[in-house]
Amino acid sequence: MKKIILNTLGSIFFVTSVFFVSSASAKTDNDEVDITLIVHCCLGHPFWEPLLKGARDAAEQLGVNVDFQNAEFDPAAQVNMIEQAVANKQNAIIPMIAHPDAQTEPLIKAQEQGIVVVAANTDHPDGAASGTRESYVGPNFVDSGIVIANYVAEQGGLKEGDHCVLPGVSPEQWHIAARGEGVLKGLKAHGITGEIIRSGEKEEGAIDIISQYLIANPDTACAIGLGGTATSVMPQAIEEAGLDLIPNGGFDTMTTISTNIREGKTLATVDQQPYWQGYLSVIFATMKVRYGLGAPDFNSSTGLITKDNLGVVEEFAGTYR
């Protein structure tokens, strides 16, 4: 009976495989799979280390090649890297769609050439309907914005009529805008207003911009950073403005943010889990190239990092966290 069952399952698997993937289009386990992963910003920043480790771990486990590229916030560079990956006949591209206006056309063309596209970290605002990618591994920015806003409002003891500042690296980037949209929605549900401001990507500049805003608006009741840089410097900016510590939180994970949470200077940060973004994007891309297996979207943002769960984050900082 056991032999019959195994033979039956083997037949089902064979039929299913033939149905979804022709032998001419699928690679075998022993074929090389070449993937280009394009980080949109700041390679070397501690936030990206878990993502890159995840991608490397998956590549080693599956025996595939991953070429890491860094666009350093330059939309033109991202387009060039996508086009170069097509020219190099890569099997898959893992982009971070931080500049959808520039990236949409080349990503659609890449797929027309038979290249698998799995977005990581930052999705197109229209998702799969944009035609830019087959699946996405990363956070839902609006939903996570609502989560952090609710937490800061409730744990920070904010009240109706309060006002908060929301600094972001570059608010015109759609994922920063989407985070801001979520935070504003969350605050509005509590009767609280918010203002999005540009903080820039450099820590020293962000400290100066945020502190100057607080000096000009000393009644500001809370601060929620829309990215790692703003979140990490928030307590220092508040101190330099000469104000008592106000409730603050934000997005992303790095040593400074963890330290601020542990010391009670920051309430929480959104747990984006970048390791999954690197690991699963390589897994999904490889399984599609080799076996034609379609991949789902995966929401890597499952909650908040607070003082209660900080221990495991600090233990694995720079690797899995």
- Helix and strand totals (H; E) in the chain: 11, 12
Do 280 and 215 fall within a single domain?
no
Asked whether residue 320 is domain-assigned, the answer is no
Asked whether residue 312 is domain-assigned, the answer is no
Q: Which of 16-20, 55-59, 207-211, 265-269 has the lowest mean pLDDT?
A: 16-20
CA–CA distance, 147 with 125 (Å, rounded to integer): 19
pLDDT tens digits, 71-130: 988 999 999 999 999 999 999 999 999 999 999 999 999 999 999 999 999 999 999 999
pLDDT tens digits, 238-249: 999 999 999 999
Q: How many CA atoms does the CB half-sphere of 49 hold within 13 Å?
A: 13
Domain that holds residue 281: 22-139+273-302
DSSP character at residue 129: G
Overall number of domains in the chain = 2
Do 78 and 95 fall within a single domain?
yes
Asked whether residue 204 is domain-assigned, the answer is yes
Do 96 and 47 fall within a single domain?
yes
| 20, pLDDT greater than 70 | no
Do 206 and 123 fall within a single domain?
no
For the domain that residue 165 is a member of, what is the CATH number?
Answer: 3.40.50.2300
pLDDT tens digits, 196-241: 999 987 899 999 999 999 999 999 999 999 999 999 999 999 999 9
pLDDT confidence bin for 18, thresholds 50/70/90? very low
Do 53 and 197 fall within a single domain?
no
Mode of pairing for the β-strands spanning 268-271 and 303-305: antiparallel
Asked whether residue 3 is domain-assigned, the answer is no
What pLDDT sits at residue 25?
A: 59
Do 102 and 122 fall within a single domain?
yes
Strands (E), 210-313: 222-224, 248-251, 268-271, 298-299, 303-305
Asked whether residue 279 is domain-assigned, the answer is yes
Do 133 and 277 fall within a single domain?
yes
Do 179 and 210 fall within a single domain?
yes
Do 165 and 105 fall within a single domain?
no
Do 74 and 98 fall within a single domain?
yes
- Between residues 20 and 26, the one the model is more confident about: 26
| 12, pLDDT greater than 50 | no
| 312, pLDDT greater than 70 | yes
User: Between the CA atoms of 60, 62, 67 and 72, what dihedral angle is there, to the nearest 10 degrees?
Assistant: -80
3-state DSSP assignment of residue 181: helix
Q: What percent of the chain has pLDDT over 70?
A: 92
Burial per residue of 182-217, b for 16 or more beta-carbon CB atoms within 10 angstroms, e otherwise? bbbbbbeebebebebbbbbbebeebbbbbbebbeee
pLDDT tens digits, 50-84: 999 999 999 999 999 999 999 988 999 999 999 99
Asked whether residue 76 is domain-assigned, the answer is yes
Residues in the chain: 321
Do 251 and 282 fall within a single domain?
no
Q: In terms of C-beta density within 10 A (0-12 exposed, 13-18 middle, 19 or more buried), how is residue 130 classed?
A: middle
| 24, pLDDT greater than 90 | no
Average pLDDT, the chain: 91
Asked whether residue 190 is domain-assigned, the answer is yes
Do 81 and 190 fall within a single domain?
no
End-to-end CA distance of the chain: 46
pTM: 0.86
CA–CA distance, 117 with 132 (Å, rounded to integer): 7
What pLDDT sits at residue 65?
A: 98
